[in-house]
Amino acid sequence: MTNKKFLEKFSYLIEPQLRKYEESRAELKNRADLIKTILLKIDRNDLKNIKIEVAIMFLLNVCHSLIFFPDNDIKAKLKQLGVTSKVYRWFIPIEKLDIKLKRIEAKKIVVLRDVALSFIKLFLQSKIRIALYKDAKTIFNVKVQVPANEDPVLISNKIFRRRKYANGDALSIADPVEHIVNAMAGEFEKQFKDRKKAKVELRKQLEGKAETYYLGDVVNSFLPTKKMEQTELLFSLGDIFRLISKDRIIWNKSQYENRISSYENNFKRYVAFRVKKITAYNKERDEARQILVH
C-alpha cells in the first residue's frame, strides 16, 4: 500500500486526530509563550518572599507548561532559580516529537497523535515532579525537617494520614519535600476521586514506576493497519521511546554494534525487547483492543 492509499484508507482515523493534535499544539504553545514571559521576569529573591508551597506550585506549573517548548533562555532562567538539569532534561522540543510521529506513520501505522501527545505529556510531567522533588531542598535552601534518609514512600504515607484528618491543601508544612508530596497527593485525589487509589498511584510515582503507567498508554496510541508481528511493531516505536524515556537505555544501531548483547546480530529484536520492558507492553491486551485488517 502506497502512502497515498494508506492516508486515504485511514483518513477517518488520522484526520480528526491530526486536527486535535494541531489544536492541542497551538494551545500548548500559547501557554508556553505566556509562562515564559512570566518566568523571565522572576527573580530568585521573589521565590523567597512567598510561601514555600506557592513557590513550589509555581515552579511545577512553569516546568509543566514549557515541556515542549524549551530554549536556552528558559533553561538559563530555571538554572538561575536553582532548578537543575535533572528537571529540564525532560523538556522535549515538540518539533522532535513531530519528526518521530511522522516516521512511524510512514511505516503504515495509524498514529492517534492527540492521544499520544496527552500521555507523553503526563509521563514527562510525572518525571518533572519527581526531579523537582529531589531538587527542592537545594532550591529553597530550607533546613531539613524530616530525616534525610527517610523513604519518600514513608513521607507520602504520613502525608495521606494527615490529609485524612484535615484539609489536605491547608496542612501546615515546613519542609519543601513534604510540600511537593502533599501537592502530588492533592492532584491524585482530584484525578482519581479516591484516596486509596491516589495513594497507590503516588507510590508508583515516588518509586519511579511512572514509565509503565503512562508509556503503556502511549503504545496503545499506535495502531498497526495489518497483522504485524510484535517485534516489528515495537521496533517501529524504538526511536520515540528513545527520545522520551531518557533514563531507560535503548541503544541505537552503532551503540548496539559496539556492545555485547544477548540479541547478537538481531538489532530489531533487541529494540523490541527494550520497548516492551520499558512500557510493559501486553500483546494480548493490544490484540483484544484492535488490529486494523486490510
Q: How many helices (H) and strands (E) does the chain have?
A: 18, 2
What residue segments make up the domains of the chain, in order of their start? Answer: 3-212, 213-289
C-alpha span between 94 and 70 (Å, rounded): 9
Q: Is the pLDDT of residue 72 over 90?
A: yes
194 with 177: CB under 8 angstroms?
A: no
Q: Cβ–Cβ contacts within 10 Å for residue 254, how many? A: 8
Range with the poorest average pLDDT among 36-45, 159-168, 285-294:
285-294
d(CA 1, CA 42): 54
Give the residue-averaged pLDDT of 121-149: 75
Q: From CA 124, how far away is CA 208, in angstroms rounded?
A: 12
- The answer to pTM > 0.85 is no
- pLDDT at residue 248 tops 90: no
Residues comprising the chain, all counted: 294
**Residue showing cell 503516588:** 202
Query: What's the rounded Cα separation, in Å, for the pair 87 and 89?
Result: 6
The CA distance from 168 to 174, in Å, is 14
Residue 16: predicted pLDDT: 83
Q: Tell whether the model's pLDDT for residue 225 goes beyond 70.
A: yes
Tens of pLDDT along 165-215?
A: 776 556 677 677 777 788 778 878 887 888 888 888 888 777 766 667 788
Q: How far is CA 113 from CA 30, 49, 187, 230, in A?
A: 19, 42, 25, 21
Largest CA distance in the chain: 64
User: Is 60 exceeded by the pLDDT of residue 286?
Assistant: no
Nearest to 192 by CA among 213, 171, 178, 173: 213
